[in-house]
Structure 1
Amino acid sequence: MQKSHTKVSDFIWGKIYNQEIKVGDKIPSERDLAKILGISRNSVREGLRVLDNVGIISSQHGSGNYVSAKFEDTIAEIMSFMYILHGMDDKQITEFRYALEWEAVNLVSGKLSDETKEGLLFHLEALEKCSDDEEGAFHDKAIHYLLIGATGNDYMKYNYNALTKVMNMYIPRLRGKIIAGMKSEEHLQSVHREIIEGLIEGNTDKSLKGLHAHFKYIMKYQDT
């Protein structure tokens, strides 16, 4: 049997799905919702609290509740917990990243904004010059985030950002394994340059070749 407070989220979801309300619109008051749904105001309040916590609505004191859709951080938080609790290991993270970045290259190659090009080149040059592992991991990660962000695809960004907390531990550890396995950073730097140059030139094959080499290194050395 459906819990009373879930009727609130189902009702609001239906209104949003049918485009009867949108971001910025005010939703019915607690009293009106209780009357419409035939449930107590306490149940309404509980349902609204859930929607507020996940960022679907926001409460404005003295005014009411409004559709806000500020749930990006919540989604990332929930998904990062899901990955950890379900035992997603380094290999699975690598495979997931590879799939997302492969599609991202196909979507953005030759279509990058000047701002994104400048960002990619900045982090590439910083990566090639730095000798500190932590700094290198920062610039390495920034390059891949810029690639995903350039797609403008919210679903890809949400999924990729959901790995942020995991990757904060995963990338420095994994990058250290790769460098130790190759005995040099030279090959790792060259594949990043190949990816970025291909993206800027609109040479998709070049970027994909670099991306394939990048993940080939990762898959080879991650279990060492």
Structure 2
Amino acid sequence: MWYSMGLGKRLDMAASALRNDGSQDAAAAEQVMLHVSGLIERGALRPGDRLASERDLASQVGVSRTSVRAGLRSLAAMGVVQTRRGAGTFITAGPPTLVSEPLRLIASLHGLDLGGLWEVRRVLEAGSASLAAERASAEQIATLSDEVTGMYSALHQPQTFLDHDLRFHRAVAAAANNPMLGAIIEAVAALFFEQRRVTIERARNLRESADAHRKIYQAIRARDGESARAAMEEHIRLAQLALATEEGT
């Protein structure tokens, strides 16, 4: 399972951060996290399983319900659990998910500007495109084709175009068949999403963007990893320039 490798280390790191807080509440939340971790590692909880209620977890661990909620929030931020209103808290099914807010805070803390984030995105997505050329299934390649077709049909509908654009990049990441890589790419790309929603209305040439996506798709379909990497790198470079132009208009 996707979280069987390295989950203990990730939970230990998060628990250590709570432990360093020095408060009893933090220590209690840590106990909740380690309790859930133990259940997962022993196979007692699997993807899609529902956790015990807050009251039952509090009783099992010997902490307050407030501490249970704090521990579950930390697990949710790590993509280990999902809370569904009215249904309870569940072990995440499918590939891992990462939230973007920690990345945003790290970027601010270390003075990483938008150019630095674009560089991160370029490295990740170019590598993903290369892997997709090697690993994509026929169905995944068909999905890429559908999204490119959708872009061309939405050249005069910027928001619809952006939806196809985002789904294309997600499909490339999925076709790399490395769930953790896909989760990291999604978290990084999300940092650009809301800004792009606004600026795309000022886009000057969506056909150029559609052509770039088609070039990536064609390289993946041809199983040409180097061309796929180069096409994605060029696309991200042009996308960065386009965003700067849109912001300035």
Q: 1:80 to 1:173 in 2, by over 3 A?
A: farther
- What SS does the corresponding residue of 2:135 show, helix, strand or coil? coil
* Mapping of residues 14-163 of structure 1, within 5 Å: 15=38, 19=42, 21-23=44-46, 24=49, 30-34=58-62, 41-42=63-64, 45-53=65-73, 54-55=75-76, 56=80, 68-69=91-92, 75-76=98-99, 78-79=101-102, 82=105, 89-130=113-154, 131-163=156-188
For 2:178 and 2:228, locate their aligned partners in 1 and report how far apart those are by CA, in whole Å: 19
Unmatched runs of 5 consecutive residues or more in structure 2: 1-21
TM-score (norm 2): 0.64
Greater alpha carbon shift after TM alignment, 137-146 vs 83-92: 83-92
Supply the AA of the counterpart residue of 1:98.
R
CA root-mean-square deviation:
3.7
Q: 1:14 to 1:206 in 2, by over 3 A?
A: closer
Deviation per residue, 1:190-218 (Å, 9 max, x gap): 22111101101101122122112212213
- What SS does the corresponding residue of 1:171 show, helix, strand or coil? helix
Deviation per residue, 1:165-203 (Å, 9 max, x gap): 5333233456567x53xxx44443322111101101101
For 2:196 and 2:242, locate their aligned partners in 1 and report how far apart those are by CA, in whole Å: 13
Identical residues among aligned pairs (%): 12
- What SS does the corresponding residue of 2:177 show, helix, strand or coil? coil
Given candidates 205, 211, 233, the residue that maps to 1:212 is 233
Cα contact 1:79–1:162 (8 A) shared by 2? no
Cα contact 1:134–1:172 (8 A) shared by 2? yes
Deviation per residue, 1:35-77 (Å, 9 max, x gap): xxxxxx43xx333222333445689xxxxx9872469898426
Greater alpha carbon shift after TM alignment, 15-24 vs 123-132: 15-24
For 1:6 and 1:92, locate their aligned partners in 2 and report how far apart those are by CA, in whole Å: 35
Unmatched runs of 5 consecutive residues or more in structure 1: 35-40, 60-64
Matched, 1:171 2:200: no
Map of 1:197 onto structure 2:
218
Map of 1:37 onto structure 2:
none
Q: Considering only CA atoms, is the larger Rg found in Structure 1 or Structure 2?
A: 1
Q: 1:142 to 1:114 in 2, by over 3 A?
A: same
TM-score (norm 1): 0.70
- What SS does the corresponding residue of 2:136 show, helix, strand or coil? coil
